[in-house]
Amino acid sequence: MDTSTLQAFVETAQLGSFSQASQRLFITQSAVSKRVAQLEEQVGARLFDRIGRTIALTDAGKALLPQARRILAELEDAKRVVKNIKGDISGRLSVAASHHISLHRLPNTLRTFTTQFPDVELDLRFYESEVAYEAVLHGDIELALITLSPESDPRLHSEVLWLDRLFYCVSNDHPIAQHGTTDFETLNQYPGILPAPNTFTSLIVHEQLAQRGLTPNLGISTNYLDTIRMMVSVGLGWSLLPESMIDNSLHKVVIDSDAIERPLGFIYHRDRTLSNAAGKLLNLLKEDAQKGS
């Protein structure tokens, strides 16, 4: 059993696809299949059920997966400890970031980081915050830049970098925009455009409406806030959006509710030794956040 077979197994299990695992590992699909087959032979059990193009973990595969993740994480941790001692700022740095943070908070920091540390191989993945959270917990990602959960897992270190103020918005020609002020009952007469129910924004809206005995009148749904902003701007409904995304195509709704702030920041696993590269990136992020970028 070696790391290459374990990596092929973990990536295939995580992505649910031999072809996607091959893309992640930069090897051919047949090479991934061969490595998984070698691992199955070594452990003496089938790890995946293959039904047509669909694969699923067997009971043996489910039992092996957390152990394989732990072994790979400990090996990577050992490598980082040695590199850190040597002072190296190089190698692979895996970072997951939400689409909103990637578009609106990261560009300047990434430009500086890649210029200052050209020997770092940046593996930047665009995940929804909830997916990135799980990836850090499982040891698949070193850092995640996400909307922070109000109840973080004790295994994770989390730190706020930015506070996003959120406002209810409609298009400038929406009937609500003609009101000086409005209330949730009036707002909810029109369709809302929200991300998935388990997201910070959606949970806030559901809670505020529920406090007033209202069930959200929801229309289109997408997790991409820039798409939501576009749909709101052309009059398809209202939404709750970060102040940083509100331009003159949108109208802030004056409504009786407490100020809403969404904490954005980073998380990493407390049991994982951060690489020198991760430390440098976090320092740059903190500096830029203090400057207001």
Whole-number pLDDT of residue 39? 94
pLDDT at 87 over 70: yes
Q: Tens of pLDDT along 32-71?
A: 999 999 999 999 999 999 887 789 999 999 999 989 988 8
Mean pLDDT of 237-245: 92
Does position 93 have pLDDT exceeding 90, yes or no? yes
Given the candidates 1.10.10.10, 3.40.50.920, 1.25.40.10, 1.10.10.410, the CATH classification of the domain at 1-87 is 1.10.10.10
Average pLDDT on 151-176 reads 92
Per the prediction, the chain carries an average pLDDT of 90
For residue 44, what are the contacts with CB-CB under 8 A and spacing of at least 6?
none
- pLDDT of 204 over the 80 cut: yes
Instruction: Give percent of the chain with pLDDT exceeding 90.
Output: 64
In this structure, of 81-85, 109-113, 120-124, 156-160, the range with the lowest mean pLDDT score is: 81-85
**Confidence class for position 79, pLDDT limits 50, 70, 90:** confident
Confidence check: pLDDT of 259 > 80:
no
pLDDT at position 1 over 80: no
Residue 243 predicted with pLDDT over 60: yes
162-261 placed in CATH 3.40.50.10490? no
Domain ranges of the chain: 1-87, 162-261
212-216 mean pLDDT: 92
Q: Which two tokens stand for residue 160?
A: 């706020």
Domains 1-87 and 162-261 share a fold: no
| pLDDT above 80 (res 121) | yes
Residue 75 has pLDDT above 90, yes or no: no
> What percent of the chain is modeled with pLDDT above 70?
99
pLDDT score of 150 more than 60: yes
SS3 sequence, the chain? CCHHHHHHHHHHHHHCCHHHHHHHHCCCHHHHHHHHHHHHHHHCCCCEEEECCEEEECHHHHHHHHHHHHHHHHHHHHHHHHHHHHCCCCEEEEEEECHHHHHHCCHHHHHHHHHHCCCEEEEEEECCHHHHHHHHHCCCCCEEEEECCCCCCCCEEEEEEEEEEEEEEEECCCHHHHCCCECHHHHCCCCEEECCCCCHHHHHHHHHHHCCCCCCCEEEECCCHHHHHHHHHCCCCEEEEEHHHCCCCEEECCECCCCEEEEEEEEEECCCCCCHHHHHHHHHHHHHHHHCC
Residue 293 has pLDDT above 70, yes or no: no
Q: Which of 52-56, 78-82, 211-215 shows the lowest mean pLDDT across its residues?
A: 78-82
Q: Say which residue, 118 or 138, is predicted with more confidence.
A: 118
pLDDT of residue 31: 93
Please give the residue that has the higher pLDDT: either 50 or 293. 50
Above 90 in pLDDT, residue 213?
Answer: yes
